[in-house]
Structure 1
Amino acid sequence: MKKIFLFFLASLLIFLGLLYGLLFTPAGNSLVASYIQKSANENVNAIFKVKEFSLTTSKIKFVATIDENSEIDVIGDLALLQKRVDLNYEINIKDLSKLEKFTKQKLKGNFYTKGTVAGDEKLTKINGISNIFDSSTSYDIKLKDFKPSDIKFLITNAKIKDILYTLNQPSYANGLISIDGKINNPNIASLDGIISTVITNGQVNNEIVNKAFNQNLMVPLTFKGDIVTNLEPNKAVSKIDFFTSMANLLVKKAVVDLKSMNINSDYLLSIPDLINLYDLTQTKMRGSINIDGDIEKTATLMKVSGASMLLDGSLDFTLLNDDLKADIKNIDIQKLNHMMYYPDFFTSKANASLIYNIKKQQGDLVATLSNGQFLPNEFSKLINTFAKFDITREVYESIDVKSTINEKLINSTIDMSSDLTQLNVTKSEIDLDKSTVDALVKTQLKGVEFDTFITGDLKSPKVSVDTTNLLKLKLKKESEKIIKKHSKKLEEKLTEKLGEKQGKKTTQEIIEGFRKFFGNE
């Protein structure tokens, strides 16, 4: 038994001697450095070289390079048995793209940080600074049992263009971002903390955005924002105030499930002046609009719902992935024309339903207008000139509109009738890209049919009327007035010439002949 004990004791001493020789002697340090270098080069798309490695029972020094232009230095005191360290470190990486195998994402640019690591198994503190994204950054991390327990960091004036560059993205915008984070417990199941983000001096790079997203931004687009995120078990809850020169976005509560990454949020989109949307819509508009609603996002679903008081009426919509469904109720057509800079030619209230696929840019619109009336315009003036008829007095109790949308083209049919008129738009095409209209209006006015053609610029179209039948109607009315005015005198003269007995019958026949000749049957 004694021999067995001595054998195990001798084996243990030999093992500890080998371990000491491997770890704490120059020869052993060289072997360890060679192993680290070989393992790193298998995972880094670069030449990783350990320039210096020295490990004793009380000190460590480690110096390595990546492609000779980036360096990692670690030096300081350690007590292995007490599991205590007091180290200084400095990391200067001039080409982040060399670390793609580690980061699993292609990065560009450089990274620098330095700091200290001090403590033991119970509590270790890491304090450091960095110039990440050309910022002034500091961080303070506490480890308990070598696990993160408290994290504080302050990133001041990080440049948006450098963030995009580092993430291998085009330079969509310029500006500054500052982030103040305090995380008391980084474990997702018991997460606790707060992160405050401030965006200042933001401006979109129009040229790059236009090229990347096929836009036509001309006016400088500026932005700023404040985001406060509370970290709670398994979720992050944010309040967002984001302001741009085009529109403002306010979010009271956006909840991100950190396990599933599902998002649920409210929002208020405020556009103080619709003219600011011109670069995006290429449509001139005026007025303001506020839309509030909710957003829901999962791995397979993107749902946005919203509502707004609009043009004395209301708008409600739901966007489910690519499919948009909108209901418009009781809007004022005259105010719509004013908002869109269209001619002020008609007044009415309208209800409409829209189904539209934003990916295909195709859809259908069905609308009903009530109590419509024409306002004085070129169309009503032409009818009054040729037919002596004031169409602005006619009331159209119900008007049916059906439209199909195919990208920038809108084709419509319209049916409307009053007591004395009936109008049918059998063909109408609006080209939003060219801002033109081409429409045919078939009209019946007191039994007389004629066509009206509306063509040209959508905001100032040319209106032409086929006046053939209208001239007949005008001639009919004028002749009737003449006959009515002079019929008694004509009858007296004809009776006088033809004689009392024969003249009565013949006189009436002649007058009726006049009526037939002028179309007054």
Structure 2
Amino acid sequence: MKFIKGLVVLLLLMLVAVYVVAFTSFGNNLVKPYIEKTIKEKSGYDVKLSKFELKFGSLDVDAVVNDEIMANVNGKYSLFAQSFDLNYKVDVNNLKSFGLNLDEKMDLSGKAKGKAKDFSVNGSGKMLDSNVRFLANLKDFKPFNVDLDAKGLNVKKALALANQPLYLDGLINAVANVKEGTGTATITSSNLIVQKDGLKDQNISIPENIPLDLKSDIALENNIVIADTNVKSKLANISVSNTTYNLNANSLTSDFLVDIDKLANLEPFVGQKLNGSLQANGNVEVEKNALKSLNLDAKTLGGSLKATTDGKKLNANIDNFSLGSIFVLTGQKILADGKLNGNIILDSLDIKNLNGKIDLNIQDGILNEKELKNLTQFDFPKNIKFSEKSDITIKSSVIDFKNILNSDLLNVSKFDGSYDLNKATLSAVYKASIDNLSKFAFLTGQKIDEKLDVDGDVKLVNNALSSLNLNATTLGGSLKAVTNGKSLTANLNNFNLGSIFMLAGQKVLANGKINGSIDLDSFDVKNLNGKANLNIIDGVLNHIELSKLMEKDFPKNIKFNQKADVNIVKSVANFKALINSDLANLSKFDGSFDINKALFNANYEALIKDLSKLQFATGMKMNGEVLANGNIKKSGENFSADLNSNLIGGKLNASIKNEIIRATFDKFQITELLYLLDFNKFYKGIGDLVFNYNTKSQKGDFNVDIHEGQLTQGKLTSAVSLATGRDITKEVFNNSYIRGTINKNMIYFDSNMKAPTMELNVTKGTLDTITSQINIPVDIQVQKTDISAMVTGTTQDPKVKVSSKYLEKKLEKQIDKGLDKLFGGSKKDGATENATDDGKKSEKDIVKGLIKGLF
């Protein structure tokens, strides 16, 4: 008994507490802030309850919404009888906070009376620009009597009140007349406009205002609503001619017809470029707010789509969709055409337990070579045909698929696997082939008579690559690669170097076999780590293509091999390379390349054993060998390199920085330099060279200082020595120089050589490095004798013409006395141009004329 008494007391206390909180001024003041906060959180409206009086049998509430709308509800109610008798009044001064300024105030007032399921409500006033008047009586929440007159309702203001984007403007007429559950209603509008700026906040930009016509005729009888609705606009024409809604069963059935003449008009709303048209019709059935059935028959994309669903299952058939139309639909160029057909049967639409079967195929596919050329700039062959077939089975949201692609270019004979929708995992195997790579000559520019076979497998976990294995056989070799999306291992075996040139669309500059491997710990370019090597064996340079490239006669059968090892640490590739060839050997090429900073630095050692083999490149024959070393650097646009060599008895130091070459050559032997350049050894001595050259402008200058130089025996010295009676090759030139400038292939120079009893000067001498033509005027003074000479011809076959008035007179007297004694078997080089042979002169006169011709 004590327990029961205690329970009764507790219940009484709770009732008292509820009453105090709910129906007293103290309790109203406690509840009011909570109500205001809840309304703002749910609706976004800033509501202030200036009066909130909730008593046991009555209420009186004044509310202010956003400081613009004032509302009052007052009257009596009964919790036990579930009845009410309330008055309401709404005054709208402005809607500025809703994004709309009112040109006049709005108001609506009326009365609501009855019980929860059966009640009446009326109202009148100036609302939404309309003189609204309505009276409604509902029984069991269904309209029994309705009298509505609301013509000229402003849609824009209605959207503002509902706190929706102001994307519509215009007026709607709503009229209804229902008596004892039977009657009609109409909703019409002929001046609605979809406003171009109305949906900017939703990132939808409409180029212009879109007019909209609306008409809906509604009939009500026996709690069944039947409607005939039509919407017309440039966006779409929608006709729903027979909509039936059963108020008792809460079920709806309706037909529909949608006609979109230009899908492009929908682009702003779907965010996708569209083209083409769509005509669709069907019917829909809904029971208790759940889809029962939907039948759709659409004509679009050059074909048709038929689909049925009950919300749990789906059957669809695609018949002759045009691939070209799909490209057009998405606003793309028509890259291919063909017919797409397929069937979709889904026994469950629950994404977590999806089941069904899908088959799709493309028939009579053909590539559009013109559009593909515009896109890629490659001349695709005409009439490339293809077909594709996909078979998909879905069980418990696991998709098993099989795909085949056949075409005139390549074939994918297998792409089979499974994808788990819930786990986002994929496992698949693939196999593809190209029966002849010459079909891709439009890409490579070469006809490669090779086959390509590729196979492997791929796995995804959480839609990210987990593993990929690739095996390829082509170009005389094979490639194997394995990656998990984070690291990579690959091996290249016996690939044909010439075929790789062809595959890359390049001229075949060399042939040989390529072997290599790569092992990367990650694909993170900022922290790349791994190793790689690349070797070329049995390499042979292609003299035909290299001759065309260099515009020089490249030698035949030049063999080479190459080896390179790379170690990558924190995106810095440290490398060591060796190159051996019949032309030159690069015995050392070690350095590093910072991938992120694009910094290159390398040291090298190079040996050219026989300079004569480079005649095709230098344009002149050279002799001997050169051993050099140096450093190469590149940072961004800046490039620099240097070269050091102990050559022909001297020390050569050269450098290039961007386009500027600077070189010094100290204490070199001139005789050895002349041999290296394959010139006649007309001089011996020691020289120092300073050289500057701009590779961009092809201009430069040089200066050679010669110490203790001597002329050697030659045409010029023999003639001068004979004429002067002294051997000028014995003269030692202690202070001599050659100074000149370079302008592309032309070298212009001056020279001065001084000996105790002799001086030699060259003024405005020239050498053409392309043709080897020389033109060197020489002025010689031997004691008091002045001699002029002109050296012409080429560096290999110079012609010398000497003249001196003093020597001509002296020689005239000496020639007749001892011509035979002095010149027995004398040379005729350079003498023929001053000799005449008319058959009448004696042999002695001919020889005399030849000798005089030297001067």
* Fold match by TM threshold 0.5: yes
Which residue of structure 1 lines up, in the alignment, with residue 433 of structure 2? 92
Match of residue 114 from structure 1: 455
Amino acid at match of 1:335: E
Contact map agreement 1:264 1:297 (CA 8 A) in 2: yes
**Are residue 61 (structure 1) and residue 401 (structure 2) matched?**
yes
* Contact 2:745/2:768 (8 A) holds in 1: yes
User: Could you give the per-residue CA deviations for residues 347-389 of structure 1, whole angstroms, max 9, x where no partner exists?
Assistant: 1111122222334433222221111112233333222222122
Cα distance, 1:338–1:422 mapped onto 2, change above 3 Å = same
Amino acid at match of 1:54: I
Compute the displacement of 1:247 (Å). Answer: 0.7
Aligned to 1:351: 688
Question: Is the 2:638–2:658 contact (alpha carbons within 8 Å) kept by the matching residues of 1?
Answer: yes
Whether 1:327 and 2:327 are equivalent positions in the alignment is no
- Please tell me whether the aligned partners of residues 95 and 108 of structure 1 are also in contact (alpha carbons under 8 angstroms): no
Picking from 337, 350, 356, the partner of 1:25 is: 356
Q: Secondary structure in 2 aligned to 1:396? A: coil
Q: Residues 389-417 of structure 1: CA distance to partner in whole angstroms, max 9, x if unpaired?
A: 22222221111212222333322211121
1:150 maps to: 487
What is the rounded CA distance, in whole Å, between the counterparts of 2:708 and 2:667 in structure 1?
A: 11
What residue in structure 2 maps to residue 71 of structure 1? 411
Secondary structure at the aligned position of 1:56 is classed as: strand
How far 1:473 sits from its partner (Å)?
6.6
Aligned residue runs from structure 1 range 219-298, under 5 A: 219-298=556-635
Contact 1:310/1:331 (CA < 8 Å) preserved in 2?
A: yes
Report the equivalent of 2:147. Answer: none
Secondary structure of residue in 2 paired with 1:306: strand
Task: Give aligned pairs, total.
Answer: 461
Where do residues 498-517 of structure 1 align in structure 2 (5 Å cutoff)? none
2:746 to 385, 406, 409: 409
In the alignment, structure 1 residue 469 sits paired with structure 2 residue 806: yes
Counterpart residue number, 1:136? 478
Match of 2:757 among 420, 426, 440: 420
What is the rounded CA distance, in whole Å, between the counterparts of 1:326 and 1:266 in structure 2? 18
- Alignment partners' CA distance in 2, 1:83 and 1:61: 15
Cα distance change of structure 1 residues 220 and 95 upon mapping to structure 2, 3 Å threshold: closer
1:369 matched to 2:706: yes
Question: How far 1:432 moved relative to its partner?
Answer: 2.7
List aligned pairs for 1:30-45, cutoff 5 A.
30=360
Deviations 1:132-160 (A, max 9, x none): 4442122222x2xxxx2332111101111
Change in Cα spacing, 1:111 to 1:430, as seen in structure 2 (3 Å) is: same
Maintained 8 Å contact 2:409/2:439:
no
Identity of aligned residues (%): 21
Paired residues for 1:486-505 under 5 Å: none
TM-score by length of 2: 0.49
| Greater RCO (CA < 8 Å, at least 6 residues apart) | 1
Structure 1 residues not aligned, in runs of 5+: 1-5, 478-521
**Residue 466 of structure 2 corresponds to residue 127 of structure 1:** no
- The whole-number CA distance in structure 2 between the counterparts of 1:235 and 1:401 is 47
Task: Work out the CA distance in 2 between the residues paired with 1:116 and 1:107.
Answer: 31
* 2:672 aligned counterpart, secondary structure: helix
Provide, for residues 10-68 of structure 1, a one-character-per-residue CA deviation record: whole Å limited to 9, x for no partner: 9xx969943659975334x549x99xx99xx9999887754224142445324243644
Paired residue secondary structure (1:280)? helix
- Say which is worse superposed, 120-129 or 424-433, in terms of deviation: 120-129
8 Å contact from structure 1 (residues 378, 463) kept in 2: yes
Give the C-alpha shift of residue 243 in structure 1: 1.2
Give a deviation string over 1:160-212, Cα, whole Å, max 9, x none.
12211111111222111111222223322332211111101211211122223
Change (3 A) 1:23 1:196: farther
2:652 is aligned to 315
Greater share of helix: 1
The worse-fitting range, judged by mean Cα deviation, of 460-469 and 327-336 is 460-469
CA contact (8 A) 1:387 1:473 kept: no
Q: Which amino acid aligns with 1:18?
A: L
Counterparts in 2 of 1:470-485, with a 5 A limit?
A: 470=807
> Partner letter of residue 517 of structure 2?
D
Query: Which residue does 1:187 correspond to in 2?
Result: 524
Distance 1:24 1:271, change over 3 A: farther
| Matched-pair contact (CA < 8 Å) for 1:387–1:471 | no
Higher share in strand: 2
SS of residue paired to 2:734:
strand
Q: Which moved more, 1:393-402 or 1:359-368?
A: 359-368
Give the counterpart letter for 2:713 in structure 1: P
SS in 2 for 1:285: coil
- Greater mean alpha carbon deviation, residues 327-336 or residues 409-418: 409-418
Counterpart residue identity of residue 74, structure 1: F
3-state DSSP class of the match of 2:526?
Answer: helix
Q: CA deviation at 1:277?
A: 0.8
Where in structure 2 are there 5+ consecutive unaligned residues? Answer: 1-287, 293-310, 314-345, 815-855
1-side partners of 2:762 and 2:543: how far apart?
A: 42
Larger radius of gyration: 2
Partner SS state of residue 363, structure 1: strand
Distance 1:455 1:340 in 2: 18
Matched AA of 2:492: I
**Is the 1:48–1:64 contact (alpha carbons within 8 Å) kept by the matching residues of 2?**
no
Normalized against structure 1, the TM-score is what? 0.77
Q: Is the 8 A contact 1:160 1:176 kept in 2?
A: yes
Aligned-CA RMSD value: 4.0
- Tell me how far apart the structure 1 counterparts of residues 440 and 769 of structure 2 sit (CA, whole Å): 49
Which whole-Å CA distance do the structure 1 matches of 2:409 and 2:711 have between them?
77
Distance 1:378 1:96 in 2: 64
The residue aligned with 1:205 is 542
CA distance in 2, matches of 1:311, 1:78: 73
* The 10-residue stretch of structure 1 (163-172 or 466-475) with the greater mean CA deviation from structure 2: 466-475
The AA in structure 1 aligned to 2:390 is E
Secondary structure of the 1:303 match is strand
**Residue identity in the other structure for 1:91:** A
Deviations 1:88-129 (A, max 9, x none): 2113356889999xx9x9998675310123585699443331
Q: Could you say what secondary structure the match of 1:26 adopts?
A: strand
| Equivalent position SS for 2:561 | strand
> Paired residue for 2:507?
170
Give the direction of change, closer, same or farther, for the CA distance of 1:384–1:252 in structure 2 (3 Å limit).
closer
Inter-CA distance 316–257: structure 2 relative to 1 (3 Å threshold): same
Return the letter of the residue paired with 1:51. Answer: K
Amino acid at match of 1:236: A
The range that moved more, 432-441 or 190-199, is 432-441
